[in-house]
């Protein structure tokens, strides 16, 4: 496996390896970054004019039996899912803006 496919976390490496071993090999780009040097996403897959933006987040819902499960869920959803949706929209805006995307 090349350095480009390693990823930062174990789950990022799994995502890159999955793409490397599948039909996505020809169209996937792990860990692209923006012109400011920050990571754009965990993996891009480009098919002509269609772009798929992949993010990998591993975050477990706390298992605290003394707290209200609905409160735990609401906090977890806000901190994990809602934030990730916002991040994905930012990546989409960046790509649509026509700014450069760099590969490792």
> pLDDT tens, 10-40?
888 888 888 888 888 889 998 999 999 999 9
User: Looking at residue 16, what is its pLDDT?
Assistant: 87
Give the pLDDT confidence score for residue 6 in this predicted structure: 56
Query: How remote is the C-alpha of 78 from its chain's centroid?
Result: 17
- Residues pairing with 43 in the sheet: 30, 54
Query: What is the domain extent for residue 42?
Result: 3-102
> Please, which residues have CB within 8 angstroms of residue 6's CB and are 6 or more apart in sequence?
13, 16
Task: Give pTM, 2 decimals.
Answer: 0.76
Q: What is the pLDDT of residues 33-73, one digit of tens each?
A: 999 999 999 999 998 999 999 998 777 777 777 888 899 89
Question: For the chain, what is the domain count?
Answer: 1
pLDDT at 61: 74
Question: How many residues make up the chain in this entry?
Answer: 104
For tokens 């993010």, the residue is 55
């Amino acid at each position: 496996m090349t350095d480009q496919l390693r990823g930062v976390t174990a789950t990022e490496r799994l995502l890159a390896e999955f793409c490397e071993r599948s039909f996505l090999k020809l169209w996937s780009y792990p860990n692209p970054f923006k012109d400011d040097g920050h990571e754009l996403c965990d993996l891009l897959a480009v098919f002509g004019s269609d772009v798929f933006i992949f993010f990998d987040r591993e975050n477990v819902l706390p298992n605290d039996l003394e707290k209200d499960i609905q409160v735990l869920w609401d906090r977890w959803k806000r901190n994990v899912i809602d934030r990730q949706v916002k991040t994905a929209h930012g990546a989409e805006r960046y790509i649509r803006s026509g700014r450069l995307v760099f590969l490792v």
